[in-house]
Amino acid sequence: MRPGPARGIRVGVIPMGEETRLAAKVIAAHVEGFMHLEAMVLDPLPRPDFALDPQRLQYDAGCVIEDLESRPPNRCDKVVAVTAVDLFVPVFSHVFGEARLGGRAALVSLHRLGEAEEGRRPPPARVLERAAKVALHELGHLFSLTHCSDPGCLMHFTGDVAGLDATALLFCRYCREFLAADGCGQRSEAGLV
């Protein structure tokens, strides 16, 4: 029997565009299954065209986060939005996701998660697994976890899909303990938060 949600913390997952609905459902299932937090898929929002940078032809992740944080909480303590647009922050050419440490809203982009491997597109299941890993990583930031030095931990920074694929779908012992102490998750039999 799986432990119930920790301290009633509720995470909303928001699809931004029709093409992200399935990813939003997968992310919500991973939030419940791995972090043992209540998760729900919220009503979709339109694509964040307001955040398009005409010089870069990419979308400013910080602008989207600000917009998400300005919205009413929708009965959720934290929200993770999923988009298909290419995201950037000023110091990187692209990002898979973004969140403010201790903030309320995180963002995941599917755009580069489907990058070709050895000349072939990855199977949809791999893209969804990558999206779940990015979402759990960004959610960790929302619960004040910083980047981890353990390359096997979900909180380890990676800037490419090969690194993301090499990362296990779990938090290291120290990150699990931090989350458990903060009341954001509970340990399961498998040692996941």
Contacts of 184 (CB under 8 A, 6+ apart): 6, 7, 9, 35, 37, 143, 193
The structure tokens 């303990």 sit at 177
Q: Which two tokens stand for residue 189?
A: 């039999």
Q: Does the annotation mark 138 as catalytic?
A: yes
- From the candidates 129, 138, 177, 189, give the one annotated as an active-site residue: 138
- What is the DSSP annotation of 28-69? HHHHHHHH--EEEEPPPB---GGGEETTTTEEEHHHHHHHHH
Q: Which sequence positions are flagged as catalytic?
A: 138
